[in-house]
């Protein structure tokens, strides 16, 4: 296990792919230019995005902020569209058969296992509630800013939207430092 909370580099690749798809090469370069030097050096080596292994999640939080403040121009709608694209090009592409024909409860039931595959630290639990679920994320880094909380919540909403669920919505809040509660509802 890595000493600091990290995520698979495939998440970074999905962020890059989503930015290129929505806004093009110049927007990706703007995002990279907005990153603090330490983060830029950790995520982009000799002009190439880190594509294998693990990347510290603190850098992914900064990457999300650069997207939000840059090409998304601080727009919640544009940022949600971006996160939906990240999920479609990352999680959705890799696990298409799992989500495409499955009811949301089946996908969310596997969420803790999928979390452990993609993250070195923290944990996730899911409580089913009829046409909804409550997801708890326990993670110091991914719950450290309002945008990182919104990013987590939107990722779960976007994943659930890839299933047979219709009109998926989410609400989220910190129950305490380090513990995010995401409530998902669908038809």
Query: Is the residue at 27 inside a domain?
Result: yes
* Residues 43 and 14 grouped into a single domain: yes
Is 131 in the same domain as 61? no
Tens digit of pLDDT per residue, the chain (187 long)? 568 999 999 999 999 999 999 999 999 999 999 999 999 999 999 888 998 999 999 999 999 999 999 999 999 999 999 999 999 998 756 566 667 778 898 889 989 998 999 999 999 999 999 899 999 999 999 999 999 999 999 999 999 998 889 999 999 999 999 999 999 999 9
Q: Last residue of some domain: 49, 69, 93?
A: 93
Q: What's the 3-state SS for the chain?
A: CCCCCEEEHHHHHHHHHHHHHHHCHHHHHHHHHHCCHHHHHHHEECCEECCCCEEEHHHHHHHHHHHHHCCCCCCHHHHHHHHHHHHHHCHHHHCHHHHHCCCHHHHHHCHHHHHHHHECCCEEEEEECCCEEEEEEECCCCCCCHHHHHHHHHHHHHHHHCCCCCCCEEEEEEEECCEEEEEEECC
């Amino acid at each position: 296990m890595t000493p600091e909370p990290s995520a698979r580099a495939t998440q970074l690749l999905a962020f890059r792919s989503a930015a290129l798809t929505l806004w093009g090469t110049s927007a990706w370069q703007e995002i990279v230019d907005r990153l603090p030097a330490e983060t830029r050096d950790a995520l982009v080596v000799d002009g190439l995005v880190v594509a294998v292994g693990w990347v510290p999640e603190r850098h992914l939080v900064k990457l999300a902020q650069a997207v939000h403040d840059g090409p998304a121009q601080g727009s919640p709608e544009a940022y949600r569209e971006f996160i939906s694209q990240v999920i479609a090009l990352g999680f959705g592409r890799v696990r298409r058969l799992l989500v495409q024909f499955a009811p949301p409860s089946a996908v969310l039931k596997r969420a803790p296992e999928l979390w452990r595959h993609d993250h070195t630290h923290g944990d996730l639990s899911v409580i089913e509630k009829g046409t909804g679920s409550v997801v708890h994320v326990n993670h110091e880094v991914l719950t450290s800013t309002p945008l990182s909380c919104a990013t987590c919540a939107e990722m779960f909403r976007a994943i659930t939207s890839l299933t047979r669920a219709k009109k998926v919505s989410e609400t989220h809040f910190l129950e305490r430092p380090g513990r995010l509660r995401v409530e998902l509802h669908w038809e």
